[in-house]
Amino acid sequence: MTSDHPELDVLPQWPQETIAVLVTTDPAPHAIPVSWPVRAGDRRILISLKSDRGSLARLRERPEVALLILGGGDVALCARGEAKVIAEEMPGAQDYVAVALDVAVIDDHRQSAFSVAQGIQRTVLDEFELNALKGRVATLRDWAANSN
Domain holding 121: CATH number? 2.30.110.10
Read off the amino acid at residue 20.
A
Cα distance from N-terminal residue to C-terminal residue, the chain: 32
Domain residue limits at 28: 19-147
- On the 0-12 / 13-18 / 19+ scale of CB atoms within 10 A, 32 is middle
* Within a domain: 135: yes
* Within a domain: 73: yes
- The number of distinct structural domains making up the chain is 1
Q: Which of 11, 8, 30, 9 is nearest to 21 (CA)?
A: 30
* Within a domain: 65: yes
pLDDT for the residue 33: 95
Can you give the pTM of this predicted structure?
A: 0.91
* Within a domain: 83: yes
- CA geometry: angle at 63 spanning 130 and 99, to 5°? 30
How confident is the prediction along the chain (148 residues), in pLDDT tens digits per residue? 455 678 889 999 999 999 999 999 999 999 999 999 999 999 999 999 999 989 999 999 999 999 999 998 889 899 999 999 999 999 999 999 999 999 999 998 878 888 888 888 888 889 999 999 999 999 999 999 988 6
* Within a domain: 38: yes
* Within a domain: 125: yes
Read off the amino acid at residue 26.
D
